[in-house]
Structure 1
Amino acid sequence: MNLRVAVVGGGTGGLCLAHGLVRAGVEVAVYERSRTRTERLQGYRVHIDPHGAAALHECLPPVAWQRFLAATGESAHEFAFVTEQLRELAVMREPAAADPAAAHHSVSRISLHQVLSTGLDGILWHDKEFVRYETGPKAVTLHFADGTTAEADLVIGADGASSHVRAQLLPHARRVDTGIVTIVGKTPVSEAAERFKAGPVYVVGPPGCGMFTAPHLFPEVAVNDETAEVDPVLFDNTGSYVMWAYGFRRLSTSDESLRDTALSAIRGWHPDLVRLVENSPDASVSRLPILTSLPVKPWEPGPVTLLGDAVHSMTPFRGIGANTALRDAQLLCRKLSAGDDVRVAVGEYEREMRKYGFKAVRTSARSAEQFVSESRLGRVATRGMFRALGAVAKLRG
């Protein structure tokens, strides 16, 4: 296909798209502002749902897909809802899918990035900080901070929630602070109670706050298919852990460490939850304000478009941001591979993407508000709802 595509941003969605376009025979270049492949390897576990798994399976070459599967942790099929005293409200169990491309997976964000970065020699360019683009009669020119330029027939902004491409294409698009803040940490799995290793746990706390935990259990070894040796690039160096997040709308500030702030907030909660926070190394604990994007009215399709958080960034609640970006990559790859006029293909992609993308934004924002609801009546109703769901699940089981 005689089409030159430039992807700005080497994150999950942009790299998945690049693999898909390469498989479709499309000329593509990815420009990433990090200086090296390993400069910004950080983050927590990522939940890949069936939408995300299907996109990865379709876009990645078989070797990369197998590397992804090798990098995933043990998948949990149990989701518990409990009170802050760990009284069970409901436990939802889902049978394991026979097809990995239709299954749920848990993967370190570091490992996922390493897998997606592999196999893109001559395509993925680091130390390329995007500054602006210019549209001409025959091509789009990209300008970078180092003074260099590049040309493409289509530019895709996949440069995250603070996208510079979006700022130029849709200057009116906005992200807003929800007023919710989370403190997030990792606890070595050996220091966590057994109940937190079985699967995600949603803690319906007192009004105004909530807590979420999720295990990431690394497989014991990853094997390189070509050498039959352990493949170290598939893993970060933290080992298996339980991730926890305490969310709140109002919390008194102090000179305490973030971990101590969280401990102060959950004083009186079940000892297993307190120990989960106590056993987190200080370096693993971070503060995360919760922002969300606002829906954008349809715009005229052109030689520049957006993907993932660059267009529909959402809160981390429900864990659907990365999966929506992967869905974008799969859809855009399909449209561009069909051989139709590029602007028609981009227009069709944007029309579908806006529909499911901003639906995901709304769903995520709603979950965030429920997580820290200050309504006592609403909190009682939420607990009652989960108890009813748990009772139904037990009857079905």
Structure 2
Amino acid sequence: MGENLRVAVIGGGTGGLCLAHGLAAAGMEVAVYERSRTRTERLQGYRLHINPHGSAALHECLPAPAWERFLATRGKGTGDFAFVTEQLRELAVIDEETGADPAAAHHSVSRISLHQVLSTGLDGILWYDKEFVRYETGPKGVTCFFADGTTAEADLVVGADGANSRVRAQLLPHAGRVDTGITAIVGKYPLTAETRGLVPARLTAGPNFVLPPRGRAMFTAPHEFAGAEVNDETAAVDPVLFDNTGSYVTWAYGASARRLPAGLAELDGAGLRAVVLDQIRGWHPGLSRLVELSPEGTVSRLPIKTSVPVEPWETGPVTLLGDAVHSMTPFRGIGANTALRDAQLLCRNLIGASDGSAAVADYEHRMREYGFQAVRASARSAEDFVTENRFARAMSRSMFAVVGSVPALKRRMFAEHGES
């Protein structure tokens, strides 16, 4: 691999598209192959937290117009982050410190809006309806094979095809993912003039980590959309799932399998919503109202899995990025940000590299270190989220109460929120 690398990115998700923008801006030859037939085929409508790592990567890799569009479509602010009991008694409220530089700040974004921003400006680079099947390496590079019978040649293939990566399955067949035994049920409560007053102000003021005595927990986070209408396809698809102009509160209820009824996989949104309502009976009525009034089409089940750290592998013309190599639980909100960090690092290494193999080797070494550190931290947070240890949960609640009364600790906690 030399200076004029041809790069093929498998997967048009957050990390892969960010990488493509950065490489294209530097004049490198890059193509992205996405299995979806269109941008709107797979609807992902929940809030995403972008931390300073993610912000820095987007600022560096995106062209100026795309960066400005990202800023225009973000939420109004992440809001104060609170740790509360199941009765919404505040244990600690961490004041937001946004800072003057948006490239080093926290942002609330709609996944739909972010994907739209990342998908624009890639004409001739982003190809849809390209389901990757396998690759073959040879003396002249790598050949990618797709389900439609076509092929693509590249000097470097970047597997950015998510947690169920086919690229990883071929490159590192021993690298697996394990079930944590935790299931989350997630939903979205639309915020309108009518619905805003039906839930406590705390639920619309900022993100909340709800800590009941033990065995389960809940997370809520508002996305207050700034109002810029950037999505011209909403009317063509389901407006409940694909609306990126309306504000909402995302919520997620998580528990271990032993606390949840059997057969969740067979339930539709209405059934899953009923399960959560039964599970949180006796909690603050505002939380029940949040769940009860969420459209059933927005409620879904999310089995929580995590990757297992793998030993270093021999660098070659195929590498991995994001969830394809270090998928993690969602309990620290760092998965997408770590993928963006990957994209930024790999982009930096490849641009102007006289030795592409050395550039990829350095990327893989550093990515494994911070990526699997994030995996371990996320797994610990998942365990804490559903701990059955009543004493441990009581200690956590007491700790947050102490943090809430000490400004220096509060500032430090917010600074580390969403970080690996």
Q: Is 2:217 the partner of 1:203?
A: no
Kept in 2: contact 1:48–1:105 (CA 8 A)? yes
Cα displacement string for residues 117-170 of structure 1 (whole angstroms, at most 9, x for unaligned residues):
000000001110000000001110001111111100000000000000000000
Cα displacement string for residues 314-346 of structure 1 (whole angstroms, at most 9, x for unaligned residues):
001111000000000000000001323111000
- The CA distance in 1 between the partners of 2:409 and 2:398, in whole Å, is 17
Please say which of residues 23-32 and 39-48 is displaced more in the overlay.
Answer: 39-48
Q: Is 2:137 the partner of 1:135?
A: yes
Q: Give 1:1-397 correspondences, 5 Å limit.
A: 1-190=3-192, 191=195, 192-222=199-229, 232=232, 236-237=242-243, 239-249=246-256, 250-253=259-262, 257-393=271-407
**Residue of structure 2 in register with 1:226 after alignment:** none
- Give 1:20 shift: 0.2
Secondary structure of residue in 2 paired with 1:257: helix
- The CA distance in 2 between the partners of 1:143 and 1:86, in whole Å, is 53
- Give 1:395 shift: 9.2
Kept in 2: contact 1:78–1:91 (CA 8 A)? yes
In structure 1, stretches of 5+ residues that fail to align are 223-229
- The CA distance in 2 between the partners of 1:364 and 1:95, in whole Å, is 23
What TM-score, normalized by structure 1, do the two folds share? 0.95
Kept in 1: contact 2:94–2:410 (CA 8 A)? no
Kept in 2: contact 1:16–1:60 (CA 8 A)? yes
- The CA distance in 1 between the partners of 2:392 and 2:200, in whole Å, is 29
- The CA distance in 2 between the partners of 1:396 and 1:86, in whole Å, is 19
In structure 2, stretches of 5+ residues that fail to align are 412-420
Kept in 2: contact 1:156–1:306 (CA 8 A)? yes
**Residue of structure 1 in register with 2:417 after alignment:** none
**Residue of structure 1 in register with 2:416 after alignment:** none
Q: Given residue 170 of structure 1, which amino acid in structure 2 is its aligned partner?
A: L
Kept in 1: contact 2:404–2:410 (CA 8 A)? no
Secondary structure of residue in 1 paired with 2:377: helix
Q: Given residue 201 of structure 1, which amino acid in structure 2 is its aligned partner?
A: N
Q: How many residues align?
A: 390
- The CA distance in 1 between the partners of 2:97 and 2:177, in whole Å, is 37
- The CA distance in 1 between the partners of 2:89 and 2:110, in whole Å, is 29
- The CA distance in 2 between the partners of 1:340 and 1:293, in whole Å, is 33
Distance 1:193 1:396, change over 3 A: closer
Kept in 2: contact 1:6–1:31 (CA 8 A)? yes
- Give 1:77 shift: 3.7
Kept in 1: contact 2:95–2:410 (CA 8 A)? no
Secondary structure of residue in 1 paired with 2:82: strand
Secondary structure of residue in 1 paired with 2:354: coil
What TM-score, normalized by structure 2, do the two folds share? 0.90
**Residue of structure 2 in register with 1:227 after alignment:** none
- Give 1:25 shift: 1.2
Kept in 1: contact 2:183–2:303 (CA 8 A)? yes
The alignment yields a C-alpha RMSD, in angstroms, of 1.7
Secondary structure of residue in 1 paired with 2:364: helix
- The CA distance in 1 between the partners of 2:261 and 2:343, in whole Å, is 41
- Give 1:272 shift: 0.8
Q: Given residue 8 of structure 1, which amino acid in structure 2 is its aligned partner?
A: I
- The CA distance in 1 between the partners of 2:368 and 2:101, in whole Å, is 29
Kept in 2: contact 1:77–1:95 (CA 8 A)? no
Kept in 1: contact 2:403–2:410 (CA 8 A)? no
- The CA distance in 2 between the partners of 1:395 and 1:309, in whole Å, is 32
- The CA distance in 1 between the partners of 2:281 and 2:25, in whole Å, is 53
Kept in 2: contact 1:213–1:244 (CA 8 A)? yes
Secondary structure of residue in 1 paired with 2:406: helix
Please say which of residues 324-333 and 83-92 is displaced more in the overlay.
Answer: 83-92
Q: Which ranges of 4 or more aligned residues in structure 1 deviate by more than 2 Å?
A: 190-193, 230-236, 252-256, 393-397
Kept in 1: contact 2:209–2:218 (CA 8 A)? yes
- The CA distance in 1 between the partners of 2:408 and 2:351, in whole Å, is 46
